[in-house]
Structure 1
Amino acid sequence: MTEAHDFAAEAARVLAEKTGIEKHDIALILGSGWGGAAELLGEEIASVPAAEIPGFSGHAVAGHHAVHRSFRTPNGRTVLALGARQHFYQSRDASTVAHAVRMAAAAGCTQFVVTNGCGSVNRDFVPGTVVLLKDHINFTSATPLEGATFVDMTQTYTPRLRDLAHTIDADLPEGVYMQFTGPQYETPAEVRMAAILGADLVGMSTALESIAAREAGMEILGLSLVTNLAAGFGGETLDHQEVLDAGAAAAPRISRLLAEIVKVM
């Protein structure tokens, strides 16, 4: 076990102490537009400021919240909604990005749901579309893994969970997400490259987190909300407010969808 894993285990110990919950079942990262799903999961049974847990700070990017919250679903499962998402562009450290996922695994979570707001390079996926991830391209040139840690990424996004999501919404399209480093948005040339490489969606999160979850042996479900058409596919310019506005408009619909999926996991 690496130093990063030891640190995550310590964070999980403090989380259990502060929440009074010995074991969580499902970990959830709520990206831009997805935050409202937490309120629909079930009874909130604990909440702790992320800054009180080792490895986290109170800082959060607009659209994210620096609080870890625990919920109990109607079927008795305990969900950990992870706040203070740490993006790669904030630290340039993949291990820091993976810390929340590793803490969740150490806290007992065996399933990981990762969501994001993203740009679309597929003209069939217009703003407001929810896309079920079937694969990703890690274009950050980084990994949270250390040494000879050979993790199979063949089925990163668990087919069983994708099938389960389709029982809630049979019309959910599937796509490939490509993580760039950010924080700048992609250029039109980079977007054309992404499409050539097989991406449908582009963004600044998710892939590194999913690698860490695969290393931990967790089942993974990935959901992307298309908040904008990527550069060269839509308007002349892009800005973060556009992402927030699109997320806010779609929030009630996608929150219900996500909560319904999590409740049957």
Structure 2
Amino acid sequence: MAESDKSSFEQANEAVSYLKSRLPESLQTPQVAIVCGSGLGGLADTIQTESRVEYDYSSIPHFPRPTVAGHAGKLVFGFLGQRIPAVLMVGRAHYYEGHSMDRVTFPIRVFKQLGVGTVVLTNAAGGLNSEYGVGDIVLLNDHIFLAGLAGVHPLRGPNAEEFGVRFPPLSDAYDLDLRRRVYQAWKEVIPSKSTRKLHEGVYAFVGGPTYETRAESRMLRMLGADVVGMSTVPEIVVARHCGLRVLAFSLVTNNAVLAPVPRGDEHELQDKAAGELSAILEEGKAGHEEVLEAGRASALDMQGLVVQTLVNAFGQ
């Protein structure tokens, strides 16, 4: 049977069979799955060294492979804290890489079949809210999925009844108990003198790979979005379809430019050289290396916050 002829349920079970045939018994049913976003692969370093087992995505049946810098492409199994069995997805595949929505979200279905009950998703995002600074952490409590509203949706097509219902609600997508625990963990792991802030807000998914224009950024802000990025929401949709609890974080790695683009007939621009005009347009422009660098600078705080939240929620 060709891969395209197999259901997502069958494919997920084949991936799980491959993994469980190789994993030690103590790690065959992880309690928590963590998806590590751009520049946040260091979360895998929180796994106890003696328990760590990892597999390249290329070795796992049907698993999508990322092609973007900052996404290593491996599953890491092990224990968080004292005895929390976990699986970490170091790097994710994105829709803009050419994967279908079904492929992008396939790992979530694998987690469900492994027995995971809670998924933690992290990402690097652009800040739309003027109160957010680069390096701040945003605890997500809602999202705007314009692509999904237009029909580019991971649940489009015949419903996978083995995973969930045809019309899953999303008004309760972001687990309130876990969000409450994040604030407790923040007080425990982030020094009081730290300038980094914890916010709670709304994430807007965009297809990418281009960063948003100024007009698009203003539109998203007017719609109620606090951060914007190219991942996470499709995974959350499928996680909730599977009945998984969801906790999600964005690391603000750049501030989106909301100011209108300068007009060509502005009087003060007429005598400026071409190089000066380019500098004006480039002010605040986002770049992928900038995203990765901000991720590196803030990774330890993000790691500590995620792990402490999970220890508080599931630790013995």
TM-score if structure 2 supplies the norm length?
A: 0.79
Partner of 1:10: 14
Q: Is the 8 Å Cα contact of residues 113 and 221 (structure 1) preserved in structure 2?
A: yes
Bigger mean CA deviation after superposition, 190-199 or 88-97: 88-97
Query: Aligned residues, how many?
Result: 264
Distance 1:84 1:31, change over 3 A: closer
Q: Does 1:36 align with 2:36?
A: no
Q: Does 1:162 align with 2:179?
A: yes
Q: Distance in 1 between matches of 2:83 and 2:98?
A: 36
The aligned residue for residue 194 of structure 1 is 220
- 1:135-146 correspondence runs (5 A): 135-141=142-148, 142-145=152-155, 146=157
Residue 202 to residue 214, structure 1, CA distance change in 2 (3 Å): same
1:106 equivalent in alignment to 2:109: no
Extract unaligned runs of 5+ from structure 2: 1-5, 160-165, 188-196, 260-281
* Contact 1:23–1:109 (CA under 8 A) maintained in structure 2: yes
Amino acid at match of 1:178: A
Please state if 1:151 is matched with 2:168: yes
- Which amino acid counterpart does residue 308 of structure 2 have in structure 1? E
Other-structure match for 2:74: 67
SS at match of 2:198: coil
Q: C-alpha offsets along residues 162-218 of structure 1, whole Å, 9 cap, x if unaligned?
A: 011111115732000000000111111111110111100000001000000000100
Structure 1 segments unaligned to the other structure (5+ residues): none
Given that 1:132 and 1:172 are in contact with CA atoms closer than 8 Å, whether structure 2 keeps it comes out as yes
TM-score by length of 1: 0.93
% identical aligned pairs: 32
**Code of the aligned partner of 2:109:** R
Q: Matched residues in 2 for 1:227 and 1:241: separation?
A: 10
Residue 84 of structure 1, CA deviation: 4.2
How far apart, in 2, do the equivalents of 1:57 and 1:223 lie? 22
Using the TM superposition, give the Cα deviation of residue 48 of structure 1 relative to its aligned residue in structure 2, in angstroms. 1.1
**Alignment partners' CA distance in 2, 1:103 and 1:150:** 21
The alpha-carbon deviation at position 23 of structure 1 amounts to 1.1
Q: Which segment drifts farther, 20-29 or 201-210?
A: 20-29
- 3-state secondary structure, aligned to 1:242: helix
Partner deviation per Cα, 1:127-162 (whole Å, 9 max, x = no partner): 000010000111223221134610110111100110
Q: Secondary structure at the match of 2:37?
A: coil
Farther off after superposition, 3-12 or 233-242 = 233-242
| SS of corresponding position for 2:104 | helix
| Distance in structure 2 (CA, Å) of the matches to 1:86 and 1:100 | 10
Shift, 1:58, TM fit = 5.0
Structure 2 vs 1, CA of residues 59 and 135 (structure 1 numbering), >3 Å: closer, same or farther?
closer
**For structure 1, which segment, 210-219 or 250-259, has the greater mean C-alpha deviation from structure 2 after superposition?**
250-259
Greater Rg over alpha carbons, structure: 2
Out of 199, 209, 219, the residue aligned to residue 183 of structure 1 is: 209
CA gap 1:73/1:138 in 2 versus in 1, 3 angstroms: same
Deviation, structure 1 residue 57: 5.1
Aligned to 2:243: 217
Call closer, same or farther: CA 1:202–1:58 in 2, change over 3 Å. Answer: closer
- Other-structure match for 1:86: 93
CA contact (8 A) 2:41 2:71 kept: yes
Name the CA distance, whole Å, in 2 between partners of 1:216 and 1:159. 18
In structure 2, which of residues 26, 31, 49 is the aligned counterpart of residue 25 of structure 1? 31
Q: Greater CA deviation, 24-33 or 168-177?
A: 168-177
Equivalent residues of 2:255, 2:284 under 8 A apart: no
> RMSD of the TM alignment (CA)?
1.8
In structure 2, relative to structure 1, the CA distance for the partners of 1:74 and 1:84 (3 Å cut) is closer
Inter-partner Cα distance in structure 1 for 2:206 and 2:295: 20
